[in-house]
Amino acid sequence: MSRVLGIETSCDETAAAVVERLADGSGVIRSNIIHSQIGDHALYGGVVPEIAARAHLARLDRLIGRAMEEAECGFGDLDAIAVTAGPGLIGGLLTGLMMAKGLAAATGRPLYAVNHLEGHALTPRLTDGLDFPYLLLLVSGGHSQFVEVRGVDDYHRLATTIDDALGEAFDKTAKLLSLPYPGGPAVEQAARKGDANRFDFPRPLSGRGELNFSFSGLKTAVRQAAQAAAPLAQQDVADICASFQQAIVDILADRTRKMIGLFEARHGSGGSRALVLAGGVAANQAIRSALESETARRGWRLIAPPPELCTDNGAMIAWAGLERLGRFEPAGFDIAPRSRWPLDEDVAGLIGSGRRGVKA
């Protein structure tokens, strides 16, 4: 049995967790403490990096103490310490990384610097014992990409967004409609009361051979619809949210069909025949339901971690550390945080006319 403390401070959740890997390779979450900073940022309608860093600094030591206490272990019982080193907000990453370095130095335990995206990518091996290779759809505030997960530290990006991330599209739609922060859950809640057929929003890049995503045109269409219907009644807002969410569902279903075909062409009868849905947007129940139906029609299954493991958390970082323990050398104390850190560092960014550098 191996036991790792995981620390996550990449954005606006301060998190610490202790996870064990048993002799049979399965994982057990002994503690998973998360403090959300929603209240700290709600007034500003989004995450303020300096406020986030200060909040991490004020709370992290107590969260680690709670995680260790709940797991009923001391630092001498740990086999390693894992911490998010990127991508994310530099101030927050520095806070977590310096804390982890201090603990590693004081306890003599090895330090593993984890890519936050790898934490999401490997979570289904903790929750479902999934074997490599498998197909990952990672959708969050900063990322929208399909990734072929071939092994630990072995990732191949198959498609990504050429402009905005999906979570960003949800948040900006919420802000446009004066919905509360965080925007994603607010849009989903409003959509439950709306008519998804009232507004015919575009499905950018769908219905053709394109594998990548584009959400900027959809955001523009939402803004134009809101302006045309102003002043907006509560039902108008609900209908816009429902129509927007349905467009997202249709886009993801379209790409999922293509990606399943591509994955099967690459692996034949091999592979897990499972689509992993991860990242903060994976908590959206409409998206989960649609992709569950889409995968089932093709003889696949959808694996979506529980909501508390979709958003940022320490358990996924601890598990990624366990996956690396014994496979890779620990990090040195000169390791630095990285605001951008793609899973697949060999793939070229999508930069061109009308395209921004892909977030990583």
Question: Tokens 């591509």 identify what position?
Answer: 262
Residue 353 has pLDDT above 50, yes or no: no
Supply the pLDDT for residue 213: 95
Domain ranges across the chain: 2-125+308-324, 132-305
Please give the model's pTM, rounded to 2 decimal places.
0.93
Radius of gyration of the chain (CA): 20
Among 157, 163, 240, 166, residue whose Cα is nearest residue 198: 240
What's the token pair of residue 323? 């996956």
Reduced 3-state DSSP string for the chain: CEEEEEEECCCCEEEEEEEEECCCCCEEEEEEEEEECHHHHHHHCCCCHHHHHHHHHHHHHHHHHHHHHHHCCCHHHCCEEEEEEECCCHHHHHHHHHHHHHHHHHHCCCEEEEEHHHHHHHHHHHHCCCCCCEEEEEECCCCEEEEEEEECCEEEEEEEECCCCHHHHHHHHHHHCCCCCCHHHHHHHHHCCCCCCCCCCCCCCCCCCCCCECCHHHHHHHHHHHHHHCCCCHHHHHHHHHHHHHHHHHHHHHHHHHHHHHHHHHHCCCCCCEEEEECHHHHCHHHHHHHHHHHHHCCCEEECCCHHHHCCCHHHHHHHHHHHECCECCCCCCCCCCCCCCCCCCCCCCCECCECCCCC
Mean pLDDT of 302-306: 94
> Domain 2-125+308-324 carries which CATH code?
3.30.420.40
What's the token pair of residue 272? 């897990």
User: What single letter denotes the amino acid at residue 160?
Assistant: T
| Phi, psi of 205, deg, nearest 5 | 65, 10
Among 310, 312, 303, residue whose Cα is nearest residue 281: 310
CATH topology identical between 2-125+308-324 and 132-305: yes
Terminal CA-CA length for the chain: 34
Supply the pLDDT for residue 349: 67
Q: What angle do CA 68, 71, 72 make, to 5 degrees?
A: 85
CATH tag for 132-305 (out of 2.40.70.10, 3.30.420.40, 1.10.10.1200, 2.30.42.10): 3.30.420.40
The confidence band for 265, taking pLDDT boundaries of 50, 70 and 90, is very high
How many Å apart are CA 199 and CA 98, to the nearest integer?
49
Supply the pLDDT for residue 357: 40
Supply the pLDDT for residue 270: 79
Supply the pLDDT for residue 359: 40
Give Cα 111 to chain centroid, integer Å.
23
Mean pLDDT of 224-247: 98
The confidence band for 350, taking pLDDT boundaries of 50, 70 and 90, is low
User: Burial of 141 by CB count in 10 Å (0-12 exposed, 13-18 middle, 19+ buried)?
Assistant: buried
Supply the pLDDT for residue 347: 83
How many Å apart are CA 212 and CA 143, to the nearest integer?
12
Question: pLDDT tens digits, residue range 48-95?
Answer: 999 999 999 999 999 999 999 999 999 999 999 999 999 999 999 999
Residue 351 has pLDDT above 70, yes or no: no
Question: pLDDT tens digits, residue range 121-152?
Answer: 999 999 999 999 999 999 998 889 999 999 99
Question: pLDDT tens digits, residue range 5-26?
Answer: 999 999 999 999 999 999 999 9
What's the token pair of residue 281? 């947007």
Supply the pLDDT for residue 228: 97
Starting at the edge strand that comes first in sequence, how are the strands of the sheet with 301-303 ordered? 154-160, 144-151, 134-139, 274-278, 301-303
Residue 320 has pLDDT above 90, yes or no: yes
Question: Tokens 């509560």 identify what position?
Answer: 234
53-67, 140-154, 272-286, 344-358: least confidently modelled range: 344-358
Supply the pLDDT for residue 348: 73
Could you count the other beta carbons within 10 Å of the beta carbon of residue 311?
23
What's the token pair of residue 111? 């330090």
